[in-house]
Structure 1
Amino acid sequence: MPRLVFSDSDLGRVRFAILPFQETLKAARGLGLPKPPPGLAAWRHASRAGLPAAARPVVTLCSAHTRHLPDFLTPQPANDPMSFEDELHAALDDPSVPVQQDTAAFAGVLETVPVVVHTLLHHPDRGRRTLRHAFTAFHQAVLAADWPRLHAQLAADVAYRARLAAQHGLDAMLATLCPPHVRWEYPHLGFDGPSAPDFALGGRGLVLVPSMFLTDGVHRQLNDRQQPMLFYPARTAGAFWRDTGGRGWPDGRLAGAIGERRAAVLRALADRPGCGTTDLATALGVTPATASTHVANLRRAGLVVTTRVARTARHELTPLGRHLLDAHIG
């Protein structure tokens, strides 16, 4: 199991990031792998039907290897939130980024070098233009409409882990990051992957990035020019894909999700974060089956997340759910 080695100063530089362009990479990987990652089969079937030809180079590139991508596609995340366009610009438009060097290293781990990689190696400017067009087409066709729901799940994951670290310490947060794929025992954070020498963070800390499409393990981005990064499955990804099968509300909007009864569910969960289905039903004066149906609809809209503790389902609002409650329902 590869391991990251923390110093005390690294522990003070652990942070989270939500990165829409990186989710695009993970989605393209999930769409192109021969075998779908857990939970993504229905989403793949729905997404492939509407995939434009212009987006196919992205799928080919991102699924050429199960764990690796050229490093230039994962730029250093800023401290402020980044849009898809911000990340795309940082990845493809910075002339100082060693595109050919990174692509050559990537090609070295491939059994077969696809055309898009060959173009990046020998005609990097043309290759970047092709990728810019392909990534934009892929994002618009596959992710853009559903991004509000996906972002709500990712934000809920970050908020949960931030609360855990604040209440119980960074040790507790790292120890529960992504079992069984990640193991924490100070000063080592081990993760699934081929054997490799320990990687010392060297005072740079670590960026933790949740993903809704990386459901089969963790990925890492480790090089000498940026802060190390670890991508891990968001804690609600399994339930999210079971609920929606990749087919959410039209255009990712909240249409159909909110009525007076569901607004009451949001109010109840705001007052009782983490409550179970039976307790929620009692508070609302409905049957547990009715409460479960309402929660499922709100979960599909990205307003509620559900996790299991032993055999009990625990429900809480996402940041989007809290915002909707504060701004429109009260």
Structure 2
Amino acid sequence: MGAHRNTLRVHFDTDDLARTRVLHTPDPLWETLLSLHRLQGVAGQPVFGGWRSRVRRRLDRSAGMLLTLAPPRGYSVDFLTPGAGAADLETGLDTVLSTPRSVLAADLTELAASRRLPSWAPSLAAGEVEVLRELGDALRRYFSVAVEPFWPAIVSQARADRVRRGEIVLDGGVEALLSTLHHQARWRSPVLEIDYPVDQDLRLGGRGLLLVPSLFCWQSPVTLLDAGRQPVLVYPIDRRPGWFAGASSARSAIALLGRTRAAVLAAICARPLVSTTELAAELGISPAGASQHATVLRDSGLIVTDRAGGTARHRPTAFGSTLLTVSAS
């Protein structure tokens, strides 16, 4: 038997498909949370490397509280993303800073189960006004440095994704939307299954599902741990090269790939859904080498891999296609 694969299972009732919708724009608090995750790691360097360097130079000490509440792996407190669809950061912050004490305490207890928390955590769990004010100020400062300067680019790419999703719904309905949401998502009516860091079940119970596009979401869609809150699924969108600073960064990114890996990317762009075996034969490298290069490209957000019948087939993301084009120009 194969190894157990952790899975997020979203259970749909009869009314949930009709109540599933795609948010018209990214949510400021979700982008803030997920950008904190991206800031603390090194994954997706061609996509986020330039952004990381720029943001890290500009952060002040107040970001330390946020980095504690939103570690790069494992649980992040749900109260930082109380819902989705806030018109602006301040609207979302009003909700965050009005979080009931019982919810603050429960979320911080969950976080403390996997890491040691600093001395201010009990005061935050108790809802003390001063520490809540510090949290609000930290979120505003971080957003102004890490998210707000790039917001027009984020919104533009999310709206392009929404148009594409809308066409899928018109052609095949909501079930087609769910089955094509992400390469790690599998629609097995009435359950949407997604490869996930932990086993988790989200039962919609007639509430419907809000799909939230995100530029900072990486590798896999994410949701809240607390199934009693608004059911949301935040999913990654394709990103244009140089989304944070213009196309010049794309030329720098392609230089990081190296000649062979760039050739692998070019072959995948030329023949979408090419198999690993076909890649190896075309480029004169071993199947193991082709698989290794494909893994690096996939982890960098340049390709996605679909598996069917035991065969891995690769296709470029919009980022990968455009990156290669810009680099060749």
Matched, 1:14 2:20: yes
Structure 2 residue aligned with 1:247? 245
Q: Distance in 2 between matches of 1:155 and 1:129?
A: 33
Q: Describe the superposition over 1:88-116 as per-residue Cα deviations: whole angstroms up to 9, x where unpaired.
A: 111113557722222222322x2332455
Unaligned runs of 5+ in 2: 1-6, 248-302, 305-313, 320-329
Q: Distance in 2 between matches of 1:211 and 1:131?
A: 23
> Against the structure 1 CA distance between its residues 246 and 67, is the aligned structure 2 distance closer, same or farther, given a 3 Å change threshold?
farther
Equivalenced residues, count = 249
SS in 2 for 1:244: coil
Identify which range, 218-227 or 198-207, moves more after superposition.
Answer: 218-227
Structure 2 residue aligned with 1:268? none
Contact residue 168 and residue 176 of structure 2 kept, 8 A:
yes
In the TM superposition, what is the alpha-carbon distance from 1:146 to its structure 2 partner?
Answer: 1.4
Structure 2 residue aligned with 1:278? none
Structure 2 residue aligned with 1:216? 219
Structure 2 residue aligned with 1:200? 203
Contact residue 186 and residue 194 of structure 2 kept, 8 A:
yes
SS in 2 for 1:111: coil
Percent identity reads 29
In the TM superposition, what is the alpha-carbon distance from 1:66 to its structure 2 partner?
Answer: 1.7
> Which structure 2 residues correspond to residues 9-88 of structure 1 after superposition, within 5 A?
9-17=15-23, 18-33=26-41, 35-37=42-44, 39-63=47-71, 66-78=73-85, 82-88=87-93
* Residue identity matched to 1:25: L
Contact residue 219 and residue 232 of structure 1 kept, 8 A:
yes
Match of 2:162 among 155, 158, 164: 158
| CA-based RMSD | 3.1
TM-score after normalising by structure 2: 0.67
Q: Distance in 1 between matches of 2:117 and 2:317?
A: 48
Match of 1:139 among 136, 143, 150: 143
TM-score after normalising by structure 1: 0.66
Contact residue 120 and residue 127 of structure 1 kept, 8 A:
yes
Matched, 1:231 2:238: no
Unaligned runs of 5+ in 1: 250-306, 315-330
Identify which range, 111-120 or 168-177, moves more after superposition.
Answer: 111-120
Q: Distance in 2 between matches of 1:46 and 1:117?
A: 29
Q: Distance in 2 between matches of 1:170 and 1:125?
A: 44
> Against the structure 1 CA distance between its residues 246 and 114, is the aligned structure 2 distance closer, same or farther, given a 3 Å change threshold?
farther
Match of 2:152 among 133, 148, 163: 148
In the TM superposition, what is the alpha-carbon distance from 1:37 to its structure 2 partner?
Answer: 4.4
Contact residue 40 and residue 245 of structure 1 kept, 8 A:
no
> Against the structure 1 CA distance between its residues 122 and 186, is the aligned structure 2 distance closer, same or farther, given a 3 Å change threshold?
same
> Against the structure 1 CA distance between its residues 41 and 225, is the aligned structure 2 distance closer, same or farther, given a 3 Å change threshold?
same
Contact residue 72 and residue 99 of structure 1 kept, 8 A:
yes
Q: Distance in 1 between matches of 2:163 and 2:133?
A: 36
> Which structure 2 residues correspond to residues 273-288 of structure 1 after superposition, within 5 A?
none
In the TM superposition, what is the alpha-carbon distance from 1:194 to its structure 2 partner?
Answer: 4.1
